Structure 1
Amino acid sequence: MPAARNIAFMASDTPLAQEAKARLDARYGTHRPEDADVIVALGGDGFMLATLHGTQDLPAPVYGMNRGTVGFLMNTYGEDGLIDRLEAAEEAVINPLHMKATGVDGKVTEALAINEVSLLRAGPQAAKLRIHVDGKQRLDELVCDGALVSTPAGSTAYNYSAHGPILPIGADVLAVTAVAAFRPRRWRGALLPKGAIVRFEVVEPEKRPVMADADSRSVKAVADVVIRSEPSVEHRILFDPGHGLEERLLREQFQ
């Protein structure tokens, strides 16, 4: 990336992240995200996602340093030579998903998700979902604990835990994955073109309540959820050379 003259440090609320921010501010200066050449996020993956959402309208890319737990989207923490690291960093550009969730009360909620949009049962009974792709019904009834649509960047998160596939970062596909599917028992999900529009119709929403979640923004009691890629929004993420998203996704598959 170009010269990182102005760095804005943003940190999660944890003492470890706040202490790191104080030291880095003192060493490299304090700048507002609006005035920065690059934004450095200090925390874990959850804070990285929050930072990307919160700064998506700003031109500066985001470089994460791990002061949290998992840190799949984060670089190794280090205070020395930070400007050199930023200027040598590799950039990945990802598009989020757009969720349009309609509640049983008719209220419509829209949100963006960098990792995945998930539907989860919100009561004691399994959810029943119908799946439509580009306006055509593809699965009449999925009885499950839930289902999700994942981006390549999010494919190693909840999607992978639900036994979904890991997607190459440059793949123009989305993964549709069931969570604890009961019927059809052998349904293993689907890979769809990135431009596909996926619609989940909740069957018996009053009896079998379902919630929807887009990167931790939750909507209770949904009746219908439409998910698509949002190409108009681009998130620019920086990684140390040789440790970019493509390498991380490959490494996850051979551990």
Structure 2
Amino acid sequence: MTKRIAFLASDVDVAQSAREALVARYGNVSPRDADVVVALGGDGFMLRTLHSTQHLDKPVYGMNRGTIGFLMNEYGETDLLSRLSEAEEEVINPLFMKAMDQSGAMHEALAINEVSLLRAGPQAARLKISVDGRERLEELVCDGALLSTPAGSTAYNYSAHGPILPIGADVLALTAIAAFRPRRWRGALLPKTAQVRFDVIEADKRPVMADADSISISDIDWVEIRSEPKVQHRILFDPGHGLEERLISEQFT
């Protein structure tokens, strides 16, 4: 049976040109009426597509028309229907972030890759870290810290020297960014069910921002993060090129 496809593309010319060619060949419907959503761009656009379509419970198949394509498949026009029929589905859960800024305003966001805290001034951030209500690190002096899902462990987390996590692992990676004190603290592996809280010490003097998949909150006072099992993102990959294989391959390149 022919699949009804919704083609979405980033704003860059190469992605828009690809969308025009694919729509001419396969037709196009709205994401709500589609059997599958095809996202054309890089990983950033893929994340935006997953967020914007999460309420539809539709699988998303990405094709790389951007600079980074860890979540994407190779681009091709001629055999898309057979690739979609043979694609393997990965289901991932995002992180839920709840943050309060210094004005007392509350903010909420979902993050597929990671939630990161970053210093927003010239001085290092000072963070207190608690896990499931228990203080675990009285003070981390750093440029920042992040909590990553397995799907996001090869992104910012990996650049910050955090561990690569198998996609099926029920763990989260807590990673320091340029830790100054404790100088050798590299972070921790936490169960997926853990709730992590960061309290900003001297928030007025050492401002910190929080970022959840590019949704940024300035001048935060504290942040709580946990996995959100009620939200499921369905991502399609060509056989033999799923997230599990990519995570393993990344460690041998």
Q: TM-score, normalised by structure 1?
A: 0.98
Match of 1:71 among 69, 72, 79: 69
Match of 1:133 among 128, 131, 134: 131
1:125, distance to aligned residue in structure 2 (A) = 0.1
C-alpha change, 1:4 and 1:203, in structure 2 (3 Å) is: farther
The 5 Å alignment of 1:10-89 reads: 10-89=8-87
Q: Which amino acid aligns with 2:61?
A: Y
Contact 1:174–1:191, Cα closer than 8 Å, also in 2? yes
- Residue deviations 1:48-107 (CA, integer Å, cap 9, x gap): 000000000112100000000010100000001100000000100000000001001100
Secondary structure (helix, strand or coil) at the match of 2:250 reads helix
Contact 2:96–2:225, Cα closer than 8 Å, also in 1? yes
C-alpha distance in structure 2 between counterparts of 1:141 and 1:232, whole Å = 32
Q: Over the residues paired in the alignment, what is the CA RMSD in angstroms?
A: 0.6
Q: Report % sequence identity.
A: 73
Structure 2 residue aligned with 1:91: 89
- Residue deviations 1:26-67 (CA, integer Å, cap 9, x gap): 100010000000000000000000000000011210000000
C-alpha distance in structure 2 between counterparts of 1:186 and 1:81, whole Å = 50
C-alpha distance in structure 2 between counterparts of 1:126 and 1:186, whole Å = 16
C-alpha distance in structure 2 between counterparts of 1:232 and 1:133, whole Å = 21
1:109, distance to aligned residue in structure 2 (A) = 0.4
C-alpha distance in structure 1 between counterparts of 2:214 and 2:140, whole Å = 23
1:4, distance to aligned residue in structure 2 (A) = 5.1
Structure 2: stretches of 5+ with no match in the other structure: none
Structure 2 residue aligned with 1:228: 226
- Residue deviations 1:122-159 (CA, integer Å, cap 9, x gap): 00000000000000000000000000000000000000
Q: Which amino acid aligns with 2:100?
A: T
The count of aligned residue pairs is: 253
- Residue deviations 1:172-214 (CA, integer Å, cap 9, x gap): 0000000000000111100000000000000000000000000
Contact 2:162–2:173, Cα closer than 8 Å, also in 1? yes
Secondary structure (helix, strand or coil) at the match of 2:180 reads coil
Contact 2:57–2:233, Cα closer than 8 Å, also in 1? no
Secondary structure (helix, strand or coil) at the match of 1:112 reads strand
Contact 1:4–1:86, Cα closer than 8 Å, also in 2? no
C-alpha distance in structure 2 between counterparts of 1:24 and 1:186, whole Å = 51
Structure 2 residue aligned with 1:246: 244
Structure 1 residue aligned with 2:100: 102
Structure 1 residue aligned with 2:160: 162
1:5, distance to aligned residue in structure 2 (A) = 1.5
Structure 1: stretches of 5+ with no match in the other structure: none
Contact 1:44–1:66, Cα closer than 8 Å, also in 2? yes
Q: Which amino acid aligns with 2:109?
A: A
